[in-house]
Amino acid sequence: MGKVSGFKEVNRNTEKRIPIDKRVKNWKEIYVPWSKEEASVQASRCMDCGVPFCNNGCPLGNLIPEWNDLVYNKDWETAYKRLSATNNFPEFTGRICPAPCEASCTLSINNDPVSIEMIEKNIIEKAFESGFVKPEPPKFRPAGAAIEVRIVRKTCRDGLSEAHCILLSITLLTGASSSREYRPISITFPISSTESTRFTTVAL
Ligand code: SF4
């Protein structure tokens, strides 16, 4: 735990949004990024709970108290490593996740929760800026395997209306791309409006 009294001294804050009349003119980020100092101050609110409900609330099991402490202490590289240990795409989840971690945060019992999602976004964005994010190509690649997915819609043949039953036919082509010897695999999923979980594999 970085700052023992942080949660008592600091109010929750999030990045400010760029005015709508400006941001509708481009596809850039809609938030004004925090400085490292601002992110550190927000991370100081984390109480490093003995039972961190944020960690359980996160579907990925993100190590939230750990990286909050690292951000508070401005160790951005280690924070990025701890975030990457459980999350392969924090640049997405730091923006669009509904943040059940924040709903689970102990601080929200009688205060505003820690700005966990925005701290997460800042960790990954600052990691990109600092060059911490490196490509990690696989050490071994199977000999040029390729997969192609085709989706074809068909109506059922047994007289049911399309609204009741739609067949999605997915064809996977697998094989060595070097030799172009693809082996087609067809998988058909009957999807009914009343039995949407009934899947059948008809041919492999
Ligand atoms: S529940 Fe909230 S205060 Fe507790 S460790 Fe998680 S983020 Fe920090």
All structural domains of the chain, each given as residue ranges with its CATH number in brackets, are 6-130 (1.10.1060.10), 144-203 (no CATH)
Q: Which among 164, 187, 165, 184 has a CA at the least distance from the CA of 174?
A: 184
Q: Could you tell me the pTM of the whole model?
A: 0.70
Cβ neighbourhood burial of 132 (10 Å; 0-12, 13-18, 19+): middle
Residue 47 near ligand 1, beta carbon < 6 Å: yes
**53, 60, 109, 111, best to mutate for ligand 1 pocket (most atoms within 8 Å of CB):** 53
**32 C-alpha to ligand 1 centroid (Å):** 25
Q: 147 — phi, psi (to 5°)?
A: -130, 130
pLDDT at 147: 54
- pLDDT grade, residue 34 (50/70/90)? very high
Q: Which among 121, 10, 104 has a CA at the least distance from the CA of 52?
A: 104
DSSP 8-state class, residue 93: H
**63 C-alpha to ligand 1 centroid (Å):** 10
Element (H or E) spanning 163, and its range? none
Residue 112 near ligand 1, beta carbon < 6 Å: no
- pLDDT grade, residue 168 (50/70/90)? very low
Instruction: Give the pLDDT confidence of 36-93 residue by residue, as tens digits.
Output: 999 999 999 999 999 999 999 999 999 999 999 999 999 999 999 999 999 999 999 9
- pLDDT grade, residue 135 (50/70/90)? confident
Going by alpha carbons, the residue nearest to atom 5 of ligand 1 is 48
Going by alpha carbons, the residue nearest to atom 8 of ligand 1 is 46
**86 C-alpha to ligand 1 centroid (Å):** 17
pLDDT at 198: 37
Per DSSP (E only), the strands in 24-158 are 145-155
How are beta strands 165-176 and 145-155 bridged, if at all? antiparallel
Going by alpha carbons, the residue nearest to atom 1 of ligand 1 is 105
pLDDT at 169: 44
